[in-house]
Amino acid sequence: MTKTKRDSYHHGDLRSALISAAEEIIAAEGVEGFTLRKAARKAGVSPGAPTHHFGSMAGLLTQVARRSYEALGKQLAGAAEGLEGNAALRALTAVYVRFARDNTGRFRLMGRTDLIELEDDDLRAAAYRAMRPLAAAAAGTRGLGVPTPEFERLDPRLIAAIAPAHGLAHLATEGRLAATMRSGEVDAQAQDALVDEVLRALWP
């Protein structure tokens, strides 16, 4: 009997394959274009496999969001090495904005509280680890301590310091950074230069 692709997967491999398939769909079509059936088809498995392994669409998307935070964390780690104060905050924010621009679908999913399981322990841990360098830099500019993973409420001064990063990131995902320039087509290098100027205006 001929072995099919779905027969050849081990349990862990199938979960990983489905997460990777979901990432590819979201990268190409955005989360709006994602369905469990599409993920199963791309992974080459039965239509019921995603639900069997993740329980629901939210379960699978939560794992995509977790891996997205892990990818963000790798880019933020070390991005401010040797820097402090406003310079560190500018460097980390620039990386954050570039990640959002270059991974629009995944970045938008990370903020979709209606589509992912926010109380998932692995997701929360990945989000904390990823955002810690940015939070630490922002806290340093305000004379604050870095929040622990068990924080109950973020200090409003810390929120104020981090908010510009989120705002610029969302402008980048919506193409609004390019819209601030006369030319209709603005390459990534020009957008990076604009972000740098904005950050220096915010945090000299």
Mean pLDDT of 36-46: 94
d(CA 68, CA 27): 11
Flag whether pLDDT at 60 surpasses 80.
yes
pLDDT (tens digit per residue) in 120-138: 999 999 999 999 999 999 9
**Whole-number mean pLDDT of the chain?**
90
pLDDT (tens digit per residue) in 87-111: 999 999 999 999 999 999 999 999 9
Neighbours of 11 (CB within 10 A): 8
* Residue 175 token pair: 């193409």
* Local confidence band at 32 (pLDDT 50, 70, 90 cut-offs): very high
d(CA 156, CA 108): 24
Q: Are 66 and 23 in contact (CB under 8 A)?
A: no
* Residue 70 token pair: 């892990």
- What angle in degrees, to the nearest 10, is found between the helix axes of 85-102 and 121-141? 140
pLDDT value at position 33? Answer: 93
Q: Are 61 and 113 in contact (CB under 8 A)?
A: no
